[in-house]
Structure 1
C-alpha cells in the first residue's frame, strides 16, 4: 500500500459519492483521482487502465461542461437524467467490443501485461460508462456495476488490496446512484440540480 493508493482511494470514493448526488464537483475531484491512478496503475503493470485515466481526464472536462451547460449552447437549465436510446446502445456496444478486442491484442503484443483481456475489458466498460455519465444516461450505472464486478478481483489479483476494497465501495455507491438517478427520472418534470444547489 502506498500514499498514491491511499489518495486514489479517498478521491475516488468522494468522486463517486458526488456523482450519485449529481453534484458537479465530482468532475474536478475525479480529475485528481485520475492523476493518482495513472501513477498507481503504471507501477502495477495495468497499462490500459493507466492510459484510460488520461481519457477520463478529457471526458471529465466534457462532462463538467455538459452538466453545467445542459449539453449544448443555448440549452436551458442543467442537463436532465434520461434513458439511453437504442441507437446509443448500438454504437456503445459496437465501440465496446471493438475496443476490448483491439486493446487485448495491443496489450498482448506490446506490453508485459499478465491480464491483457481483463485490463482491456474494464477499460472499454469504463469508457462506455463514463460517456453515459457525461450525458446523464441512467443506464451508465449498470455499465459501472459490470466494470466494478471485474475490477474487484482484478485489483486483488494484482496485489492492490486497498484499491480492490475501494471498488467494493464503488459498487455500493453505483447501486445507490442507480436508485437515485432512476428516482430523478421518474419525477414528473424533474430536472437535475445546478452547481452549488447540492453543496
Structure 2
C-alpha cells in the first residue's frame, strides 16, 4: 500500500523539466490575464511554445497545433488591448455580443466534428474528438479574451474542467494539476472582469 502511494506521488510530482517550466509560465499567464495585465501576452507566447512540444510528445496533436494559434493571437491581443478601443485607446471589459456567441458556437462544433474525424482516421491521436473540442473551445475563449469580453472566462471554466481528466489520463500530471488551478483562476478572472465592466459602465457617462 505504502509502496503504491509512493509510486503514485512520484509520478504525479514528476513531469519533465520542460513541462514544469511550461506549467509555471502558464500559471503566470492566466494570473496576469485575470488581473488585466498586458504582460499576459508575452508570457503566453513563451508558455505556448513550450507546450507545443509537450503536447506533441504526448500525441495530443490538436492541442500542440493550438499553441501556434495562441502565439499568433497573443500578438493580436497585445495590440488590441493597447489600441483596440474607441479612437485607438485601450480596451475596456465588455459583454460578448450575440453574433460572437453564434460564431464561437458554430466554430467549436464544426472544428470538433471535422478535425476530430481527421485525427481519428489519419493519426494515432489519443481522444481525437475530446482533443478537438478542447482545442476549438480554447480558440473561441482566447479570441473573446483578446477583445476583453467578460464571458471568455465562462468558456475557459468549461474547457479547463475537461482538460483536467484528459491530461491526467495522458499522465501529464503537473499540467493536469495546472488546469485544476486554471479553474479557480478563471472563476477569479470572471469576478474581477465583471467588476471592471461595471466600473467602465459607470464611468462612461462621465467621460461622455
Taking structure 1 as the reference length, what is the TM-score of the superposition?
Answer: 0.92
Q: SS state of the match for residue 150, structure 2?
A: coil
Q: Residue 101 of structure 2 corresponds to which residue in structure 1?
A: 89
Work out whether 1:41 is the aligned partner of 2:55: yes
Mapped contact 1:70–1:80 kept (Cα < 8 A)? no
Q: Which runs of 5+ in 2 are unaligned?
A: 1-14
Q: Please list the CA deviations of residues 110-149 of structure 1 after superposition, one character each: whole Å capped at 9, or x if unmatched.
A: 2101200110010010000000000000000000000000
Detail structure 1 runs of 4+ shifted over 3 Å in the superposition.
Answer: none
Equivalent position of 1:193 in the other structure: none
Specify which of 11, 23, 31 is matched with residue 17 of structure 1: 31
2:172 maps to 1:165: no
Correspondence 1:136 to 2:148:
yes
User: Take 2:18 and 2:118, find their aligned partners in 1: how far apart are those partners?
Assistant: 27
> Which structure has the greater CA radius of gyration?
2
Q: Does 1:117 align with 2:107?
A: no
For the aligned residue pairs, the C-alpha RMSD in angstroms reads 1.1
For residues 65-121 of structure 1, give each alpha carbon's deviation from its aligned partner in whole angstroms, at most 9, with x where no partner exists.
10011257x42x310100011111111111111111111011112210120011001
Where structure 1 has 5 or more consecutive residues not aligned to the other structure, the ranges are: 191-199
Partner of residue 73 from structure 2, selected from 54, 59, 62: 59
User: Does the CA-based 8 Å contact 1:65-1:71 persist in structure 2?
Assistant: no
Give the number of the structure with larger relative contact order, counting CA–CA contacts within 8 Å between residues 6 or more apart: 1
